[in-house]
Amino acid sequence: AGGVKCSANDAIEFKLVRNVQDIDDEEKAFPPDMTHQVFGDSEMIFGYRGLKVSIYYTGSKLIPYLRISHSEVCNTKEHGVSPDDIEKLLAQELPPGYLTNLDTFKAALSDEATFKPFGEKIDSYTVTTKNGEERHFDVYFAKMEKSGFQKFHERIQSFIKFYIDAASYIDVDDPQWQYYFLF
């Protein structure tokens, strides 16, 4: 099976996309910190050569898009095992309704301007970066009952298994959870 296994950490890239130009901007891509919670302890994906798994989110509403590309898929008869069903494994972690059509994803970008953070603004601050640029941040407190917030929460929560070891999704029906977001 040499050559048909690849590191999931190397094959997967995330992007927060704010405009159509960001889609092809490799500077915007960032890798997962870990993939063992999705692809097993070895963090390997079997059955592909030249594999690239792109998981992009619109920058504000976090509408997800999944694209899987490869140069070759292994021959099941030759290797005695089927290639990993990447989309099936990722579908368990991505929020329902993730997009797989690039044109639909591009159309979703045009709706980003209407995004308003959920909840109540409770604080704000400004920092100056090393190059002298000022960046403004707002802190919001949101409640799960707020219309649309649960779907937004599902989308943002889909990152955790790639960045927090031993992560699990929270019980949104548990009233003890409080939700704070930094924008």
Single out the residue of 16, 33, 70 nearest to residue 165, CA to CA: 33
Query: Do residues 48 and 82 both lie within one domain?
Result: yes
Does residue 2 register a pLDDT over 70? Answer: no
Residues 36 and 85 in one domain: yes
Query: How does pLDDT run across 95-144, given as a tens digit for each residue?
Result: 999 999 999 999 999 999 999 999 999 999 999 999 999 999 999 999 99
| Residue 1: pLDDT over 50 | no
Identify the pLDDT of residue 80: 79
Structural domain of 133: 116-182
**In the β-sheet with 120-128, what is the strand arrangement from edge to edge?**
120-128, 134-142, 179-182
DSSP code string of 154-183: HHHHTTHHHHSTT-----TT-TT--EEEE-
Q: What is the rounded average pLDDT of the residues 37-64? A: 96
Please tell me whether residues 123 and 145 are part of one structural domain. Answer: yes
Tell me what percent of the residues of the chain surpass a pLDDT of 70: 98
9 and 80 in one domain?
yes
Query: In the chain, how many domains are there?
Result: 2
124 lies in the same domain as 95: no
**For the segment 130-139, what is each residue's pLDDT rounded down to a tens digit?**
999 999 999 9
Which pLDDT score is estimated for 112?
A: 93
57 and 125 both lie in a single domain:
no
Q: How far apart are CA 16 and CA 23, in angstroms?
A: 9
